[in-house]
């Protein structure tokens, strides 16, 4: 039995700048993720954790997207947090036993593909450009 690793879909596997609905998935994979997932599933059970999977249509959309982008037919999607060795998420806070996030930490927290400009407004293009991924 392989141990599970949970991976968030939007922002970790899929670039999700143009979110429309749970069952409509447009956009590309995050650079490097397909090879990483393929390597990971050799040793672990990869489980995609996403709020998109709250509906059957969203769950099926994720699973179809995965099959279309690689040998990921055995990867299941769920909206239910399952016990896992690790959770990979672009919006996570690494808790170390006492470092509770302050309200300001929570307010400032952004996924890797977004940043704020000098006025505090979201600047998606600057963050995406820094990693070589420009949204349309």
Structure tokens at 3: 């141990």
Q: How confident is the model at residue 135 (pLDDT cuts 50, 70, 90)?
A: very low
- Could you tell me the CATH superfamily of domain 4-88? HAD superfamily/HAD-like (3.40.50.1000)
Residues 26 and 13: beta-carbon distance below 8 Å: no
Please say if the pLDDT value at position 49 is more than 80: yes
Residues 61 and 79: beta-carbon distance below 8 Å: no
Give residue 17's pLDDT. Answer: 75
User: For 25-32, which contacts have Cβ atoms below 8 Å and span 24 or more sequence positions?
Assistant: 25/52, 25/61, 25/62, 25/65, 28/133, 29/69, 30/133, 31/131, 31/132, 31/133
Residues 40 and 122: beta-carbon distance below 8 Å: no
Give residue 88's pLDDT. Answer: 97
Residues of the chain with CATH 3.40.50.1000: 4-88
CB count in 10 Å sphere of residue 63: 18
Q: How confident is the model at residue 125 (pLDDT cuts 50, 70, 90)?
A: low
**Whole-number percent of the chain with pLDDT over 90:** 66
Structure tokens at 105: 């930490």
């Amino acid at each position: 039995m392989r141990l599970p690793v949970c991976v968030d879909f939007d922002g970790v596997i899929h670039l999700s700048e143009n979110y429309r609905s749970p069952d409509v998935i447009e956009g590309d994979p995050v650079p490097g993720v397909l090879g990483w997932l393929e390597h990971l599933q050799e040793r672990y059970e990869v489980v995609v954790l996403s709020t998109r999977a709250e509906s059957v249509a969203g769950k099926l959309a994720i699973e179809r997207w995965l099959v279309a982008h690689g040998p990921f037919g055995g990867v299941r999607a769920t909206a239910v947090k399952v016990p896992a060795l690790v959770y990979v998420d672009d919006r996570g806070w690494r808790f170390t036993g006492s470092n509770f996030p302050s309200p300001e930490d929570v307010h400032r927290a952004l996924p890797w593909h977004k940043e704020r400009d000098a006025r505090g407004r979201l600047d998606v293009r600057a963050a995406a450009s820094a990693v070589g991924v420009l949204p349309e």
